[in-house]
């Protein structure tokens, strides 16, 4: 895994018995990228299998068969838009393919954090990174994965870390959802879509992670200060931050 992941994620995996190898963040084209290292390790290890989660399109197919139908069923077909951030791209792509097959007028939005190329790619057709790096983990890309290639995307949205952090704390202290920054970003993007489409629309996103994995990052006062994000936390909630 890349060496920029939260301490808690690494500790959880270790507790479950995983042997963890971490590598410096590198582009997918670099042999030292963690995906390429995983492929290499699997090839050299008896009885090992590399799942290739970013480019194995069974990932996307799972969401065509499950997530898309679940959204359609739970909204009784009354869904106007979906908006998801993407890591592998499987959730957004598979869900969009299914829902567009049911109603081509459903709008599909990709939500992208700082430092990713996908916002510019789907907005302007250019694989250019947005400025900065993000406090979010597991989303944003430097390429279009095989899972994402056939996604039915209408538009892309850029979500600044300030918006993602602010929404993460609002979800916790106003709604009771203890989430990570990816969920905060998704809901912040859904709010952008609501403003674009106007009142009376059903907009679906995903709360996909738990804040327990990010106590030393998203919920750390010193880390937020280091990233110039402390002011993104509503003032009345800052008293609850760990040092």
- Domain 68-240 coded CATH 3.40.50.1100: yes
Q: What is the pLDDT of residues 35-63, one digit of tens each?
A: 899 999 999 999 999 999 999 999 999 99
> What local confidence, expressed as pLDDT, does residue 19 receive?
87
pLDDT at residue 146 tops 90: yes
Average pLDDT, the chain: 95
Which stretch of DSSP H or E encloses residue 83? strand 81-85
Which stretch of DSSP H or E encloses residue 85? strand 81-85
Q: What is the pLDDT of residues 158-205, one digit of tens each?
A: 999 999 999 999 999 999 999 999 999 999 999 999 999 999 999 999
Could you give the CA distance from residue 86 to residue 159 in angstroms, rounded to a whole number? 12
pTM summary value? 0.92
pLDDT at residue 28 tops 90: no
pLDDT at residue 27 tops 90: no
Place of tokens 């760990």: 242
| Domain boundaries defined on the chain | 7-44, 68-240
Please report the DSSP string for 18-73 in residue order: -----B----TTSTTSHHHHHHHHHHHSTT-----TTT-THHHHHHHHTHHHHHHH
> What local confidence, expressed as pLDDT, does residue 203 receive?
98
Could you give the CA distance from residue 21 to residue 207 in angstroms, rounded to a whole number? 28
Q: What is the pLDDT of residues 79-96, one digit of tens each?
A: 999 999 999 999 999 999
The answer to whether 181 and 135 are in contact (CB under 8 A) is: yes
Q: Which of 114, 160, 116, 111 is nearest to 140 (CA)?
A: 116
Q: What percent of the chain has pLDDT over 90?
A: 86
């Amino acid at each position: 895994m890349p060496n920029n992941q939260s301490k808690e994620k690494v500790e959880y995996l270790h507790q479950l018995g995983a042997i963890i190898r971490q590598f410096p963040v590198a582009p997918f084209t670099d042999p030292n990228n963690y995906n390429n290292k995983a492929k290499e390790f699997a090839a050299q290890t008896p009885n090992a299998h590399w799942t290739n989660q970013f480019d194995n399109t069974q990932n996307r197919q799972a969401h065509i068969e499950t997530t898309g139908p679940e959204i359609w069923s739970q909204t009784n077909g009354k869904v106007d838009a979906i908006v998801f951030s993407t890591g592998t791209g499987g959730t957004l792509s598979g869900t969009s393919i299914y829902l567009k097959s049911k109603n081509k007028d459903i709008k599909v939005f990709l939500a992208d954090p700082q430092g990713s190329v996908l916002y510019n790619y789907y907005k302007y057709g250019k694989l250019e990174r947005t400025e900065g790096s993000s406090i979010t983990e597991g989303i944003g890309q430097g390429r279009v994965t095989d899972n994402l290639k056939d996604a039915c995307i209408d538009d892309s949205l850029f979500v600044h870390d300030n918006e993602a952090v602010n929404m993460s704390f609002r979800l916790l202290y106003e709604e009771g959802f203890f989430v990570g920054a990816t969920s905060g970003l998704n809901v912040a993007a859904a709010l952008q879509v609501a403003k674009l489409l106007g009142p009376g629309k059903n907009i679906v996103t995903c709360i996909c992670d738990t804040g327990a994995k990010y106590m030393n990052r998203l919920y750390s006062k010193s880390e937020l200060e280091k990233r110039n994000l402390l002011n993104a936390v509503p003032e009345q909630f800052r008293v609850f931050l760990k040092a």
